[in-house]
């Protein structure tokens, strides 16, 4: 692979491309198999076909493109992310059906890293789900955040010393803990994730991951991603 496969996100997170299946030509060859045709080189006629397929929502050829990611993100980000894995799987046009998800287990591994925001956002007055602006006492809020993590770790370690199983002791840990997953998804499923999460109504932290995913997809499938972007993100 000739692209930068790993990009950092937030304070301790990252998204890394582990493997990918297919290339820009895969989409058009998958579509043209209906006519018994196959090409070896991607050209302008293929760009037009990819655009036609995407514009008219002929999505099945895009599912032949698959990417496997290694992701490190806070627990609360992963819980939002996982909604895209367990989502609707009922129609041929479902954008959530082509996923595989394996996560590090707190039953075997002790949590070491926690998310520390650089800025603490204030609650929006108009939207219960959103933030707006910043809290005034950034220094004091940071201290409270770090103290809460430290206290949770003390309780966790105390439970382990008492012989409590990791699978049960981990329940006292905060959602700021980092976790790691391997996520494999089709091109269409990844585009759907980016469309929903790289927009202003999504929580800022998951927006950052969607933005990095978009950058990586331009590296892995440059022509197909550009065409999709022009149609749906412009």
* pTM of the predicted model as reported, rounded to 2 decimal places: 0.90
Catalytic residue among 51, 63, 121, 197: 197
Q: Encoding tokens for residue 178?
A: 């980092």
**Does the active-site annotation cover 197?**
yes
pLDDT tens, residue by residue, 110-163:
888 999 999 999 988 887 777 888 899 999 999 999 999 999 999 999 999 999
pLDDT tens, residue by residue, 53-95:
999 999 999 999 999 999 999 999 999 998 877 544 433 454 4
pLDDT tens, residue by residue, 176-206:
999 999 999 999 999 999 999 999 889 999 9
| Residues in Cβ contact with 43 at an 8 Å cutoff, skipping those fewer than 6 apart | none
180 to each of 68, 83, 97, how far by Cα in Å?
A: 13, 16, 21
């Amino acid at each position: 692979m000739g692209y930068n496969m790993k990009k950092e996100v937030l304070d301790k997170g990252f998204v890394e491309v582990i493997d990918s299946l297919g290339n820009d030509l895969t989409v058009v060859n998958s579509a043209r198999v209906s006519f018994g045709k196959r090409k070896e080189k991607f050209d302008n006629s293929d760009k037009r076909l990819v655009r036609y397929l995407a514009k008219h929502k002929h999505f099945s050829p895009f599912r032949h493109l698959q990417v496997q990611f290694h992701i490190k993100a806070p627990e609360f980000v992963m819980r939002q992310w996982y909604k895209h894995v367990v989502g609707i799987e009922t129609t041929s046009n479902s954008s959530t059906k082509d996923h595989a998800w394996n996560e590090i287990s707190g039953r075997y591994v002790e949590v070491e890293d926690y998310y520390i925001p650089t800025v603490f956002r204030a609650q929006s007055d108009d939207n219960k789900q959103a933030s707006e602006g910043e809290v005034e006492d950034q220094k004091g809020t940071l201290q409270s955040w770090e103290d809460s993590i430290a206290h949770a770790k003390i309780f966790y370690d105390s439970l382990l010393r008492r012989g409590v199983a990791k699978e049960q002791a981990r329940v006292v840990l905060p959602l700021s803990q980092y976790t790691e997953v391997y996520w494999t998804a089709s091109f269409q499923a990844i585009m759907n994730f980016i469309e929903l999460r790289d927009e202003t109504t999504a929580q800022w932290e998951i927006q950052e991951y969607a933005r990095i995913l978009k950058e990586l997809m331009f590296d892995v499938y440059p022509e197909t991603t550009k065409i999709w972007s022009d149609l749906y993100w412009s």
